[in-house]
Each structure stands twice: as C-alpha cells, then as structure tokens.
Amino acid sequence: MSIFVTTEWLADNLNAPDLVIVDASWYLPNAQRDGKAEFLERHIPGAVFFDLDGISDHSTDLPHMLPEPRDFATAVGALGIGDGVRIVVYDTVGLFSAPRVWWTFRAFGAQDVKILEGGLTKWIAEDRPLDQGAATRKPAVFTSRLDRSVVADIAHIEKAIGTPTQILDARAAGRFTGEAPEPRPNLPSGHIPGSLNLPSSNLVQDGKLVPPDVVRQELEAAGVDLSRPVITSCGSGVSAAILWIALESVGKRPQALYDGSWTEWASSGKPIEKSA
C-alpha cells in the first residue's frame, strides 16, 4: 500500500467530503521559521494546521513528545478530524515534518493516512490553488488508540544496545560523529553507543522520497541489516519518521520510533559515543 498521494490525485479529490488535508509544517529551532504563520499566509484549500509542538505532551521539557491518547483525540477532533476520514498530510518543504505527523496519526489508530508527494512546494510549482487565513472544520470525534509497541522510550533504547536490534539515527553525519553542534542550545552532539547513521537528507530528493533501489543502497551503506529489527531515531523524533517511511518503502517495517530521540538521550546523562 502506497504511503503517498500525488498532487494530481489531491487536486482531483480536493472537495471530497471525507478528505481532511493537514498542513504539518515544522522547522528546527535554528531555522527561524514559523509553520503556523506560514500556514496563515498560504496553504492548500481546506487544509487545517497540525501544531506539532502544541499537540504534544506538555508535562515534559522534551520537544513534541506524543500526548496521551485522550489529549490527542481532543486536539485533532477540534481540528475536525474524526473517525473514518481520509487524511492527507503535507509540509512546506516537501518531505520533512509530514512523515512525523503521518506516523503519529497511524500510531493513534487512524486507518487511512497518506503523505502528499512533493508537499506544498510541488503544489505551488504547479500553480495550483491556495488559501489564506485560518481554516475551520466542524468538530469531530476521533477514537484514539495508541499502539505503544511502535513507540520506543529511553528504557527500550538501553535494552537494545548490544542486541541484534539496530538503532538507526537520521541526523546529519557531523552531529552523529560529534564534529558538528546540535541545533538545540547546550545539547552535546555524538550518538547512542552502537547506533548507525543514515542522514535523512540522503533519502530525500526534490522534496520526495528517493526510489526504493536508492533507499536500499543507502541502508546498505549505513550498515543496516534488513533481517534484523530497526528502531529509528534522530534529534527529536521528527526526521526519524523519514527513516520509517523509507524502510517501509522497501518492505521493512521498523520495530519502533524513539520518541525522545537524541534530545532525551543526550540530556539524560547517558553514554555518548563520538566519531563514526
């Protein structure tokens, strides 16, 4: 089953009553961009904005951790996203934060969730219609059932180290080796002991996921054994979802995504490795 829909498909189905379009745009702290403000300036007609930081667990200082199921149901229900709808998620740059929101909806039990291939960038390049301002839908009821098996926490990671389970990190190589700083202040760079590195940027070209044969080449170059379990990770659980969809594209469903990712690990006094 495909993870993506095309801009052509979305244009043809734009007014379908059972379709909800979700703008999932989010940026790293050092990007100095505001996803919500950009949404208000322009978005695909009928889209609602999913605030990745707002729809999260506010009892922790860690960024955009998954909320409790009841809180997620309340938040997305208020956006007009209910049971039985088809959901299409996109982001501004093409393929960055949309996979995290796609994964989140799936983790909470949504049955029909897709990502818009090429995102808003492709939509705009094709001169398709845009709207401005706030978007509202009639409130709906979303039945939230979190599949906790797809969410790894710090205890899962500690147990996975030294086992056949592979921890695959989506951060840029310099951050993984400790040679480049983290975008979050006062957070050391480096990596979880024994983890592997596959920068998510290697898997995205022109705002789209690279073809499966290229995904396989990148996984092999990173030392990933597709016969063994994989937990995806990154800086804060966003680009880890790009690794997730890449793995699914070659028929390898990851075991879990590490929600706290490097931000949690590196701020918890856990062992840090540096160099490749």
Q: Over the stretch 4-59, which tens digit does the pLDDT of each residue have?
A: 999 999 999 999 999 999 999 999 878 889 999 999 999 999 999 999 999 999 99
User: Can you tell me whether residue 171 is helix, strand or coil?
Assistant: coil
Average pLDDT, the chain: 96
Distance between CA 6 and CA 157 in Å, rounded? Answer: 36
Q: Which of 4, 19, 249 is nearest to 114 (CA)?
A: 4
Whether 114 has a pLDDT exceeding 80, the answer reads yes
Is 234 in the active site? yes
Q: What's the whole-model pTM score?
A: 0.97
Q: Which of 174, 157, 177 is nearest to 230 (CA)?
A: 157
Predicted pLDDT of residue 22: 98
Predicted pLDDT of residue 29: 78
Predicted pLDDT of residue 31: 84
* List 76, 95, 170, 234, catalytic entry: 234
Predicted pLDDT of residue 1: 64
Predicted pLDDT of residue 146: 97
